[in-house]
């Protein structure tokens, strides 16, 4: 059962990261096209309409999409001064506590983002140039936020098992 | 003291609006209440978030009072946009008072129903600041411009320019890197971004109508207002509304002059388009107004009637 | 407890959580969240704020430069340019005493010109240069120390993620900041090379010298690194020559290094996805800290602590130079245990508003640039100081037979040159600002 969950969490984290990465590459291409168009206005070309907004929307999606992997891969900066000085068990307890806190943060984040999306929808807010619906930009971000909460739940399980003394899975990063 | 109100806004404390409108306004309330009301100032987004979130911060009670541009949340305040239509504004003070009148009679109950509006005003006449100079409609062709509001961006595109959407603090960098060739803002804002050092040409519009303006509101959390005892409510009402809106418009307009002086002293070229040329611009802007009316119809708002109402209110306040 | 006391107490609580090994982002987020709760008496303020705060923070245009620079660094790693850089540097320096170590530093400087991150520079150049240094018989201390120090050039030479973050927090012009950092970055590389030259003379060793390479050959090697030059000129040059914004420059850099990686034959779905995972991990880490620091700082603002502290400092009539010295030493001390990015994110919003009230006899803009470069250097030293120095760990991890204590010792001479450089740049602001004055 745990192995299945572990594979699922890893799949979600990797999948979202790759989606975010593809969004990033798309933004890179769009920006290069836009710069070229802007430089060539005299010969009739145009920059991509609303390029700044597209970067902002795309980056919002990418950053949210990167959150699950950041947590799964334990990428968050810590001060490891006492890491080797604490007994192993203390370290496991701290891992569990911080993963629990992350789960709380992730759930609150997704919940509030959902409400924020409903706000944007009810007020018909759009972006300035493209008049892209803001609620849709929030919805894109919400995909990452929900994945973040799911992976955070798995990380709590992972730390709890480590504390209980189970060996870490082979797939662990 | 009985109540502490947190006031959040996006400008630095030394800017004309915070220094000469918001703080004096807050002091007058604190004085009139014998210190029973204290207003804490949080300038330059000190409490976090971005300027577009200021409206929701007041609505949700993150802060008690906030000041924001309605244009920061495009689509959310369609009726207020009527004052931002090209060549709608005559005198900024009369236009501000007209905006406030409309808030009192209609908008407070419609698009501002989730907050309590304390003041509503517009800034001084917006003009074109450019690197290479704009002396006729044709010069707009192919120009990369930063526009402040939804309607103005539509206007810029209609005139043949390429509107670039970016926040105000991004202007200096964008100008110095050639990402934009020009921007439209009122004189009052130019010193804060040292615009006169970054470009050499400024284009004013002759005649009695401004190219554009932007709508600004100061709003209060509904519950914070409703929870006040009646005498404190009365004190705030006394200092706000038309009084605050007029003061804000006067100060913003007045601070156009030092901004213009800096550009003059820098030896920049300031041209004023004559009325014949401005008439061409007004003609070119008609499709934008038509589009706006059609859009309002789509939202169930009678755009034509709103324009008539706004123009009537401006005229009324001009003569008063 | 007054709001002000609450803010004061939040510091030890925050430090305690951080030293208990809670992720820094999480610690700030929690202290900020519960602190705000205590000030306002309800969690509603923070909860309401969070409806739009996460999205508006993560989608902010100015911050979007960060993932793009990270991706650019990853693609640069794939492109194989690290090897040609090292070959070219070796051609010029390899035949001198200590020449291979100097070459490694020169190549790090070159790689730093197209990579905005220290860790990526250390990891990439370490992979290429460390085996060579050891093959030539360099002592473990010097080999690992030089590469760990060389890695910091990834950030000291623009483009640089830390400078970008500082520029956003202190509202400085990124292009000018990059220009300001060029001189000090070159000084850093020279300082490290001098450290090597002194080392091999003071402590003789049996390291072999590479054969002298004829000039024709050298020029050919130099020609082999043209993509690096093209990308550097496009990115850093493009920003201030008036072609694009810093964010667009980062996108151009990512495109350039991506194309170089494609042509090198190293780009496959597998290596691409690994680049994305690394970018994702660093991005998640940085943006969570940005969010946490934002929430913590808004809590502090709510208590009025920063305003009152700034007012207090300006009333004390302290010598600005003493305050500056204290701040820089504090950064050095914290750098021993804290990650440089988090340090900048956590401290600049609090310290910078206080620093600009002091009079150093220069304009606000000049001060912002000069202080930024000084902060950049002192936080980067943290990457090569024990007990927690990420570059030391990365390089040591590549030479598993070398005890970490040897790597620590190997880095010390380089730390010394860092400190000398900070003193020089503090005393002579023109070294930092001269190029900015000349160009703008
Ligand atoms: Na760099
Ligand atoms: Na360190």
Tokens 């600041």 locate to B129
Distance between CA C328 and CA B7 in Å, rounded? Answer: 35
Contacts of residue A150, defined as CB under 8 A and 6 or more positions apart, other chains included, come to: A9, A12, A68
Q: What is the pLDDT, as a whole number, of residue A168?
A: 55
Cα-based angle C393, C397, C401 (whole degrees, multiple of 5): 120
- Ligand found nearest the CA of C337: 2
Q: At what angle do helices A88-122 and A51-72 cross, to 10 degrees?
A: 150
Contact C361, C369 (CB under 8 A): no
* Buried residues in C164-196 as b, exposed as e (16+ CB within 10 A): bbbbbbbebbbbbbbbbbbbbbebbbebbbebb
Cβ proximity of B229 and B76 under 8 Å:
no
Q: How many CB atoms lie within 10 A of CB B105?
A: 11
SS3 of B203, please? strand
Q: How far apart are CA B121 and CA B245, in angstroms?
A: 5
Measure C341 CA to ligand 2 centroid, in angstroms.
Answer: 12
In this complex, which chains have at least 3 CB pairs below 8 Å with chain A?
A: B, C
Residue with the larger pLDDT of the pair B67 and A39: B67
Task: Provide the sign of the torsion angle of the four alpha carbons C106, C111, C117, C119, taken in this order.
Answer: negative
Which-ligand-closest: CA of C69?
1
Contact residues, chain A, for C275 at CB < 8 Å: 21
Q: How far apart are CA C428 and CA C440, in angstroms?
A: 19
Tell me what the mean pLDDT of segment B109-131 comes to. Answer: 97
Q: Is C24 in contact with A76 (Cβ distance < 8 A)? A: yes
Residues facing residue A126 across a β-bridge: A133
User: Can you give the pTM of this predicted structure?
Assistant: 0.93
Sign of CA dihedral B13, B15, B18, B24: positive
- Show residues of chain B in contact with C44, CB under 8 Å: 60-61
Please tell me the predicted confidence (pLDDT) of residue C279: 95
Which residue in A38, A42, A125 is closest to B74 by CB distance? A125
* Residue B300 falls in which region: left (phi positive, over 0), alpha (psi -120 to 50) or beta: left
How high is the pLDDT of residue B316?
97
Give exposure, C249-288, as e/b (b: 16+ Cβ within 10 Å): bbbbbbbbbbebbeeeeebeeeebeebbbbbbbbbbbbbb
Cβ distance C53 to B48 less than 8 Å, yes or no, reads yes
Mean pLDDT for the stretch of residues B57-77: 96
Of residues B53, C244, C193, C416, the one with CA closest to residue A119: B53
The angle subtended at Cα C347 by Cα C344 and Cα C348, nearest 5°, is 70
For chain C, what percentages of helix, strand and coil (3-state, to nearest 5) are there? Answer: 80, 0, 20
Residue A172's pLDDT band, with cuts at 50, 70 and 90, is very low
- The phi, psi pair for B68, rounded to 5°, reads -155, 165
The stretch B283-288 carries a mean pLDDT of 96
Q: 3-state class of B163 per DSSP?
A: strand
Distances (CA, A) of C29 to A68, C221, C303: 17, 50, 16
Distances (CA, A) of B100 to B96, B126, B217, B238: 6, 20, 9, 14
Task: Give which of B83, A35, B249 is closest to C245, Cα–Cα.
Answer: A35
A40 φ/ψ angles, rounded to the nearest 5 degrees: -105, 25
Crossing angle of the two packed helices C364-381 and C320-335, in degrees rounded to 10: 30
Question: What is the full per-residue pLDDT of chain C (440 aa) written as tens digits?
Answer: 789 899 999 989 998 998 899 998 999 999 999 999 999 999 999 999 999 999 999 999 888 988 999 999 899 999 988 989 999 999 999 899 999 999 999 999 999 998 888 888 999 999 999 999 999 999 999 999 999 999 999 999 999 989 988 988 888 888 889 999 999 999 999 999 999 999 999 987 777 888 888 988 898 888 888 999 899 888 888 877 778 888 999 999 999 999 999 999 999 999 999 999 999 999 999 899 889 989 998 999 999 888 788 788 878 888 899 999 999 999 998 888 877 888 888 888 888 988 988 889 999 889 999 999 999 999 999 999 988 888 998 899 888 899 989 999 999 999 999 999 999 999 999 999 999 998 87
Note the Cα C411 to chain centre separation in Å: 17
- How far is it, in rounded angstroms, from Cα B69 to Cα B55? 9
Percent of residues, chain B, with pLDDT higher than 90? 88
**Phi, psi angles (nearest 5°) of residue C16:** -60, -50
Stretch among A83-92, B188-197, B221-230, C65-74 having the lowest mean pLDDT: A83-92
- Which chain C residue's Cα is nearest to A65? C280
DSSP state of B64: S
Q: Are C107 and C76 in contact (CB under 8 A)?
A: no
Of A56, A66, A75, the CB nearest to C59: A56
Q: Which ligand is nearest to the CA of C164?
A: 1
Please give the Cα distance from C11 to B100 (Å, whole number): 46
Predicted confidence at residue B165, as pLDDT, reads: 81
Residues on chain A touching B163 (C-beta within 8 angstroms): 129
Q: What is the pLDDT of residue C270?
A: 96
**Count of CB atoms within 10 A of residue C358's CB?**
17
- The one-character DSSP state at B111 is T
Task: Decide: A93 and A163 in contact? Cβ < 8 Å.
Answer: yes
| Of the partner residues C56, C175, C301, the one whose CB lies closest to the CB of residue B177 | C175
Position B113 pLDDT exceeds 80 = yes
Interface test with B, best of A128, A129, A133, A138 (most B CBs within 10 A): A128
Rounded-to-integer distance, Cα C142 and Cα C202, Å: 12
- Chain B residues with CB under 8 Å of A38 CB are 144, 162, 179
C48: enclosing H helix or E strand: helix C44-58
Closest CA to B292 of B280, B279, B307, B314: B307
Task: Find the C76 Cα to ligand 1 centroid distance in Å.
Answer: 11
Cα separation values, C412 from C133, C196, C416, Å = 18, 12, 6
**Distance from the C49 Cα atom to the nearest Cα atom in chain A, whole angstroms:** 9
Candidate from A52, A77, A113 with C-beta closest to C285: A77
Q: Give the model's pLDDT for residue A171.
A: 40
Beta strands B115-122 and B126-130 are: unpaired
CB–CB of A124 and B76 under 8 A?
yes
pLDDT at B108 over 90: yes
3-state class (DSSP) for residue C377? helix
Q: What is the mean pLDDT of chain B?
A: 95
Cβ-contact C333, C379 below 8 angstroms: no
Q: Phi and psi dihedrals of C241, rounded to 5? A: -80, -5
Alpha carbon of C110 to ligand 1 centroid (Å): 9
For C235, which DSSP code? I
For chain A, first and last CA: distance in Å? 19
d(CA A111, nearest CA chain C) in Å: 8
Which distant-in-sequence residues (6+ apart) come within 8 Å of B279 by Cβ? none
The total of other beta-carbon atoms located within 10 Å of residue B222's CB is 15
**Assembly ipTM:** 0.95
> Three-class SS string for chain A?
CHHHHHHHHHHHHHHHHHHHHHHHHHHHHHHHHHHHHHHCHHHCCCCCCCHHHHHHHHHHHHHHHHHHHHHHCCCCCCCCCCCCCCCHHHHHHHHHHHHHHHHHHHHHHHHHHHHHHHHHHHCCCECCCCCCEHHHHHHHHHHHHHHHHHHHHHHHHHHHHHHHCCCCCCCCC
- In whole angstroms, give the CA distance from residue C154 to residue C121: 5
> Residue A171 corresponds to which tokens in the numbers above?
């797939």
Residues of A in contact with C283 (CB under 8 A): 62-63, 66, 70
CA-based nearest residue to B166, from B47, B49, B50, B318: B50
Tokens read off for C330: 């504090």
- Chain C residues closer than 8 Å to B57 by CB: 48-49
Token digits for C286? 């940085």
Cβ-defined contact of C23 to A65 (cutoff 8 Å): no
Residue ranges of E strands in B255-317: 269-273
Residue count of chain B, please give it.
Answer: 320
- Phi/psi of residue B245, nearest 5 degrees: -60, -40
Q: Measured between alpha carbons, how far is C226 from C85 in angstroms, rounded to an integer?
A: 10
- Which residues make beta-bridge pairs with B183? B129, B146
């Amino acid at each position: 059962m745990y192995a299945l969950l572990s594979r699922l969490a890893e799949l979600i984290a990797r999948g979202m990261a790759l989606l975010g990465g593809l969004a990033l590459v798309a933004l890179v291409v769009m920006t290069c096209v836009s710069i070229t168009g802007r430089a060539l206005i005299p010969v009739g070309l145009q920059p991509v309409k609303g390029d700044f907004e597209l970067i902002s929307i795309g980056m919002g999606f990418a950053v949210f999409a990167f959150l699950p992997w950041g947590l799964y891969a334990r990428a968050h900066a810590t001060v490891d001064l006492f890491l080797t000085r604490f007994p192993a068990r203390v370290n496991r307890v701290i891992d569990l506590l911080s993963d629990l806190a992350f789960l709380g943060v992730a759930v609150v984040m997704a919940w509030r983002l959902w409400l924020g999306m409903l706000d944007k929808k009810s007020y018909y807010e759009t972006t300035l140039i493209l008049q892209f619906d803001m609620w849709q930009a929030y919805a894109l971000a919400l995909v990452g936020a929900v994945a973040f909460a799911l992976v955070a739940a798995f990380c709590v399980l992972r730390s709890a098992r480590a504390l209980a003394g189970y060996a870490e899975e082979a797939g662990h990063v | 003291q009985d109540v502490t109100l947190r006031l959040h806004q996006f400008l630095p404390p030394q800017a004309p609006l915070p220094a000469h409108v918001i703080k004096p306004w807050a002091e007058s309330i604190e004085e009139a209440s014998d210190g029973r009301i204290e207003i804490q100032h949080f300038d330059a987004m000190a409490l976090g978030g971005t300027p577009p979130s200021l409206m929701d911060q007041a609505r949700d009670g993150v802060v008690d009072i906030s000041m924001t541009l309605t244009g920061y949340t495009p689509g959310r305040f369609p009726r207020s946009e009527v004052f931002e239509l090209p060549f709608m504004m005559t005198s900024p003070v009369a236009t501000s008072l007209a905006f406030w009148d409309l808030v009192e009679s209609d908008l407070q109950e419609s698009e501002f129903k989730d907050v309590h509006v304390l003041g509503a005003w517009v800034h001084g006449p917006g003009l074109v600041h450019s690197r290479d100079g704009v002396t006729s409609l044709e010069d707009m062709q192919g120009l990369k411009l930063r526009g402040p509001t939804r309607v103005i961006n539509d206007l810029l595109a209609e005139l043949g320019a390429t509107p670039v959407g970016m926040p105000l603090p991004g202007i200096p960098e964008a100008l110095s890197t050639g990402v934009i060739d020009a921007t439209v803002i009122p004189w009052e804002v130019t010193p804060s971004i040292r615009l006169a050092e970054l470009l050499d040409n400024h284009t004013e519009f002759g005649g009695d109508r401004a190219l554009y303006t932007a709508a600004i509101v100061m709003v209060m959390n509904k519950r914070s207002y409703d929870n006040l005892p009646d005498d404190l409510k009365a004190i705030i009402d006394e200092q706000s509304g038309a009084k605050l809106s007029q003061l804000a418009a006067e100060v913003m307009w007045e601070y156009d002059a030092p901004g213009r002086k800096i550009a003059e002293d820098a030896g920049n070229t300031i041209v004023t388009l004559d009325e014949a040329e401005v008439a061409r611009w007004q003609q070119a802007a008609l499709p934008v107004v038509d589009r706006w009316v059609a859009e309002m119809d789509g939202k169930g708002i009678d755009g034509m009637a709103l324009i008539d109402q706004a123009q009537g209110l401006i005229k009324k306040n001009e003569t008063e | 407890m007054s709001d002000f006391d609450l803010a004061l107490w939040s510091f030890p609580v925050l430090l305690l959580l951080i030293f208990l090994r809670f992720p820094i982002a999480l610690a700030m987020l929690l202290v900020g969240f519960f602190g705000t709760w205590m000030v306002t008496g309800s969690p509603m303020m923070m909860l309401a704020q969070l409806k739009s705060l996460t999205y508006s923070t993560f989608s902010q245009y100015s911050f979007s430069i960060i993932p793009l620079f990270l991706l650019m660094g990853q693609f640069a790693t794939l492109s194989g340019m690290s090897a040609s850089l090292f070959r070219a540097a070796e051609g010029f320096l390899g035949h001198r005493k200590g020449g291979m170590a100097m070459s490694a530093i020169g190549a790090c400087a070159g790689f730093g010109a197209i990579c905005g991150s220290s860790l990526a520079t250390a990891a990439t150049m370490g992979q290429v240069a460390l085996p060579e240094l050891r093959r030539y018989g360099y002592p473990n201390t010097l080999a690992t120390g030089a590469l760990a120090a060389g890695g910091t050039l990834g950030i000291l030479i623009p483009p640089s993620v830390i400078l970008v973050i500082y520029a956003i927090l202190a509202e400085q012009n990124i292009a000018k900041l990059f220009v300001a950092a060029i001189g000090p970055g070159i000084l850093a590389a020279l300082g490290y090379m001098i450290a090597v030259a002194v080392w091999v003379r003071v402590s003789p060793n049996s390291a072999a010298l590479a054969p002298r390479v004829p000039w024709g050959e050298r020029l050919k090697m130099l020609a082999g690194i043209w993509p690096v030059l093209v990308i550097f000129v496009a990115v850093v040059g493009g920003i201030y020559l008036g072609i694009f914004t810093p964010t667009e420059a980062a996108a151009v850099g990512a495109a350039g290094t991506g194309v170089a990686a494609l042509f090198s034959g190293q780009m496959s779905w597998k290596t691409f996805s690994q680049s994305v995972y690394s970018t994702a991990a660093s991005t998640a880490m940085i943006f969570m800290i940005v969010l946490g620091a934002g929430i913590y700082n808004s809590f502090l603002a709510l208590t009025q602590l920063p305003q009152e502290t700034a007012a207090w400092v300006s009333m004390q009539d302290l010598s600005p130079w003493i305050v500056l010295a204290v701040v820089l030493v504090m950064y050095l001390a914290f750098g021993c245990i804290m990650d440089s990015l988090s340090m900048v994110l956590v401290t600049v919003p609090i310290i910078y508003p206080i620093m600009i009230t002091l009079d150093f006899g220069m304009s606000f803009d000049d001060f912002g640039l000069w202080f930024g470069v000084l902060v950049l250097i002192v936080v980067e030293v943290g990457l090569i100081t024990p007990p927690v120095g990420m570059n030391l760990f990365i390089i040591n991890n590549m030479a598993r037979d070398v005890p970490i204590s040897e790597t620590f010792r190997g880095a010390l001479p380089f730390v010394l040159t860092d400190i000398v450089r900070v003193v020089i740049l503090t005393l002579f602001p023109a070294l930092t600002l001269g190029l900015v004055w000349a160009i703008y």
